[in-house]
A and B are shown apart, each in its own frame.
Chain A
Amino acid sequence: MAGRLKLTAQVLALALVTGLFALLVWKLATQDEGAAPKLGRGETPPAPGFTLDRLDRPGKLSLASYRGRPVIINFWASWCIPCKEEAPLLESVWKQYRGRGLVVLGVDINDVRGEARRFARENRMSYPLVYDGPGETTTDYGLTGVPETFFVARSGRLVCDRLQAGVHLKENKERFEECVQEVLGA
C-alpha cells in the first residue's frame, strides 16, 4: 500500500516537472520575435496593427485607418532626449509630404500622459500622436528602445529599414530620406 502511494507520488512529480518543461519549450518556440528582426532579415512583414488613444485629441486611432497610405511610425517618449532632437525633422517631413498622402504617426510609449502632451506641445508636433503607456506595441514591433522609426508601404507592409536612435543623426539621416522616398513611391 505504502509502495503504491510512493510510486503514485513519484509519477505525479515526474508528470508535473515534464509538464512545466513542455510549457517552457512551447513558450520559447511560439514566442513572437516581433517585426523588426524580420525586417532586418530582408523580409517585409505586415505592420502589426494597433488601436490606441489619441494623445493630441480625444478618441482613438487605428493604424488600419491609414491603409493605402504610406506611414512613418515613430516610437518616442517624453523622457527621451534624442526624441526631442529628431522631432523637428519628422515635423518637416510630415508638412512636406502630407499632400502626397504621407502620414507621420507618433506612438508615445512607457510615458506619463501629461508629460507626453507637454512634450508634443513644446516641440510643436502637429502630426497624429497616439498613447501606448503600457508599451503594448513594443513586443509586436520588436522594439529595443526609443526612438525607433518604421516605414509602412501603401500595402500595409513594413519596408526599407528600422531606424534606431534619432533619424536626424548623421548615420541615420540619409537612410531616413531614402526610406521616405521608398514609401512614397511604393
Chain B
Amino acid sequence: MRLLLAIGLALVLAPAASAACPSAADLEDELICPTCKTTLDQSDAPVARRIKAYVARRADDCASKQQIKDELVAQFGPSVLAAPPREGFHWLAWILPLAGLLAAAGVVSVLVWRWSRSRSVEAAADSNGRPPLDPELERRLDRELARYDR
C-alpha cells in the first residue's frame, strides 16, 4: 500500500518538478551569442559553446529561466537576450512595431473606404459619366417636359 502511494506521489510530483526546471534547449533560442550575434541554437562559436555549457549546468541545478537570464545579463549585458526585457525604455521595442501595424491598418482602411466610395459613385453615373439627378428634380423635369408635349 505504501509502495503504491509512493509511486503515485512520484508520478504526480515528477512532471511538476520537471516543469519547474528549464531545459537548456528552452533557453538557447532566447539568448544571443555575443560574437556572432545569432541565437545560441544557431551558433557553434566557441563562446556560444561556453554559454550553452553554462546554461546546461544551471538548468541541471534547477535554476529558473529568469535566474539564468539575469546571471548572463550580469556577465554579457542586455544584448545577450534575443528579445528586449519588458521594462523601461525597452518597452518601445515591443510597442513601436504594434503601433506601426495599427497605423498601417488604419491607412489601408481609409484608402479602401475611399476607393469603394468612388467606385459606387462611378457605378451610379450615367453613360456620359454624369452623376444621377435628384429624384425630386427628375419628377419636376418630367412634368415640365410633359407640358411641351401637349
Q: What are 12 pairs between A and B in contact, CB < 8 Å?
A: A77-B46, A80-B46, A112-B47, A112-B54, A112-B75, A113-B75, A114-B54, A115-B54, A133-B34, A133-B77, A134-B76, A134-B79
Across-interface contacts of A78 in B (CB, < 8 A): 50
Task: Name the residue in B34, B47, B76, B79 with the highest tally of chain A Cβ atoms < 10 Å from its Cβ.
Answer: B47
Could you tell me if B49 and A110 are in contact, using CB atoms closer than 8 angstroms?
no
Rounded to whole Å, the gap between the CB of A183 and the closest CB of chain B is 29
The number of chain A residues with a CB under 8 A from chain B is: 15
Task: Bits for B103-121, please: 1 = Cβ < 8 Å to A, else 0.
Answer: 0000000000010000000
In-complex Cβ contact of B51 among A2, A112, A135 (8 A)? A112
Residue ranges of B at the interface with A (Cβ–Cβ < 8 Å): 34-35, 46-47, 49-51, 54, 75-77, 79-80, 114
Complex: A134 Cα to B33 Cα, angstroms = 11
Across-interface contacts of A80 in B (CB, < 8 A): 46
Complex: A115 Cα to B75 Cα, angstroms = 12
Query: Which 10 A-B pairs give the minimum distances between C-beta atoms?
Result: A134-B77, A79-B46, A133-B75, A110-B34, A133-B76, A112-B50, A110-B47, A112-B54, A134-B76, A79-B50
Rounded to whole Å, the gap between the CB of B108 and the closest CB of chain A is 13
Task: Bits for A103-125, please: 1 = Cβ < 8 Å to B, else 0.
Answer: 00000001111110000000000
**Interface residues of B, dominant DSSP:** helix
Complex: A134 Cα to B51 Cα, angstroms = 13
Could you tell me if A111 and B50 are in contact, using CB atoms closer than 8 angstroms?
yes
Could you tell me if A135 and B34 are in contact, using CB atoms closer than 8 angstroms?
yes
Rounded to whole Å, the gap between the CB of B145 and the closest CB of chain A is 36
Rounded to whole Å, the gap between the CB of B33 and the closest CB of chain A is 9
Across-interface contacts of A134 in B (CB, < 8 A): 34, 76-77, 79-80
Across-interface contacts of A136 in B (CB, < 8 A): 77
Task: Name the residue in A77, A110, A111, A113 with the highest tally of chain B Cβ atoms < 10 Å from its Cβ.
Answer: A110
Complex: A57 Cα to B46 Cα, angstroms = 25
In-complex Cβ contact of A79 among B47, B77, B79 (8 A)? B47
Rounded to whole Å, the gap between the CB of B114 and the closest CB of chain A is 8
Task: Name the residue in A80, A133, A136 with the highest tally of chain B Cβ atoms < 10 Å from its Cβ.
Answer: A133
Residues of A121-155 at the interface with B, using a CB-CB cut-off of 8 Å, are 133-136
Could you tell me if A115 and B50 are in contact, using CB atoms closer than 8 angstroms?
yes
Residue of A nearest to B118 (CB): A2
Complex: A154 Cα to B56 Cα, angstroms = 45
Complex: A133 Cα to B33 Cα, angstroms = 12
Rounded to whole Å, the gap between the CB of B116 and the closest CB of chain A is 15
Residues of A73-96 at the interface with B, using a CB-CB cut-off of 8 Å, are 77-80
